[in-house]
Amino acid sequence: MLSHKLYEKLSNIISQSALNNLSDTQVEALEEELSKLVQEKNGDIDEISYDDLLAAWENAT
């Protein structure tokens, strides 16, 4: 499971409504994309930019 801090950062740019409307497959894809970002940044969520998060969102949806 990904950290609350990461989801909080994501919710600053993606509405809760949009997040709630994701299909199960899209949720899995988004979690996978976010996990990749966390690994790329060696677990430092502060290093994940909003552009990174938007790219993950677009890849998942």
Q: Hey, how many other C-beta atoms are within 10 angstroms of the C-beta on 36?
A: 13
Q: Distance (Å, rounded) from C-alpha 22 to C-alpha 17?
A: 9
Report the pLDDT value the prediction gives residue 2, as an integer from 0 to 100: 66
Report the sign of the C-alpha dihedral through residues 20, 26, 27, 32, in that order. negative
As averages over each run of 10 residues, the pLDDT of the chain (61 residues) reads: 83 93 95 94 93 95 90
Q: Distance (Å, rounded) from C-alpha 47 to C-alpha 21?
A: 27
Look up tokens 């899209």; give the residue: 26
